[in-house]
């Protein structure tokens, strides 16, 4: 067993989850073992590192009061896009790709008659992603931003923001009202989850 492979007892120790909860979340599909799923009686599930983050995210979502259906929708969406794995494997490269995508996406906003508030917001976001070099050879940074529109569809991205809560709240308030048009936004400190996991692996 290597540090990239984890059993139920490892998950329990690292994330302070009961074995019963780990089995239940896995059987219900909140987390799907990336190394080896159980097949038949007596077979052990083997989880990968990204599964640790998935368990950590689910734990955070339940802690803030989301129900099982909501957490399942979010976990399915995150797993389907594969962005969590990309961020885990190389957060610098992930942010560079996100920055390029963001630049292309924001072109249409520049072509519109924007208010001064919108211009400041776009500048703030672009600067956040363009300063990825500041994170080179340091601990991973990242806020998982989940937004839900009026039809309750989920959008999410991982932003290279740290615990600058005033800046985050200001930016996301503008995102919610003027760009994303979300009815709800959830912010999870993904880097903090990763840091806590790494301290116990």
Q: What is the CATH number of the domain that holds 50?
A: 1.10.1660.10
Indicate if 51 and 100 belong to the same structural domain: no
pLDDT > 90: what percent of the chain? 42
Nearest to 158 by CA among 177, 135, 183, 178: 135
Residue 5 lies in a domain: yes
Nearest-5° Cα angle at 133, 81 to 164? 75
Indicate if 199 and 106 belong to the same structural domain: yes
Nearest to 122 by CA among 75, 183, 81, 175: 175
Indicate if 24 and 119 belong to the same structural domain: no
More confident residue, 41 or 3: 3
Indicate if 96 and 27 belong to the same structural domain: no
Q: Round the average pLDDT of the chain to a whole number and report it.
A: 80
Indicate if 91 and 187 belong to the same structural domain: yes
Indicate if 184 and 104 belong to the same structural domain: yes
Each residue of 125-180: pLDDT tens digit?
667 666 655 455 467 778 888 878 777 788 777 877 665 554 555 555 555 554 44
Could you give the CA distance from residue 156 to residue 148 in angstroms, rounded to a whole number?
9
pLDDT at position 70: 93
Each residue of 96-137: pLDDT tens digit?
787 777 677 666 666 665 677 666 766 766 676 666 554 554
Residue 25 lies in a domain: yes
Each residue of 12-24: pLDDT tens digit?
999 999 999 999 9
pLDDT at position 64: 93
Calculate Rg over the CA atoms of the chain. 18
Each residue of 10-53: pLDDT tens digit?
999 999 999 999 999 999 999 999 998 876 666 789 999 999 99
pLDDT at position 140: 74
pLDDT at position 1: 45
Kindly give the residue spans of alpha helices, DSSP state H, lying in the chain.
8-15, 19-27, 49-63, 68-81, 83-89, 91-105, 107-110, 116-130, 165-174, 190-198
pLDDT at position 72: 97
pLDDT at position 136: 56
- Domain containing 9: what range? 1-65
Residue 77 lies in a domain: no
- Domains of the chain: total: 2
Indicate if 39 and 125 belong to the same structural domain: no
């Amino acid at each position: 067993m290597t540090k990239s492979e984890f059993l139920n007892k490892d998950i329990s120790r690292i994330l302070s989850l009961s074995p019963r909860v780990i089995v239940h979340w896995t059987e219900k599909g909140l987390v799907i073992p990336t190394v080896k799923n159980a097949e038949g009686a007596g077979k052990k599930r083997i989880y990968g590192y990204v599964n640790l983050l998935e368990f950590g995210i689910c734990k955070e979502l339940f802690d803030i009061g989301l129900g099982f259906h909501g957490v399942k929708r979010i976990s399915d969406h995150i797993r389907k896009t594969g962005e969590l794995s990309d961020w885990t494997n190389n957060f610098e490269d992930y942010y560079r790709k996100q920055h390029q995508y963001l630049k292309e996406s924001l072109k249409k906003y520049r072509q519109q008659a924007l208010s001064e508030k919108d211009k400041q917001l776009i500048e703030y976001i672009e600067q956040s992603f363009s300063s990825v070099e500041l994170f080179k050879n340091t601990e991973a940074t990242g806020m998982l931003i989940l937004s839900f529109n009026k039809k309750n569809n989920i959008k999410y991205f991982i932003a290279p923001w740290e615990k600058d809560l005033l800046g985050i709240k200001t930016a996301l308030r503008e995102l919610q009202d003027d760009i994303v048009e979300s009815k709800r936004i959830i912010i999870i400190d993904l880097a903090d989850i990763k840091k806590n996991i790494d301290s116990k692996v």
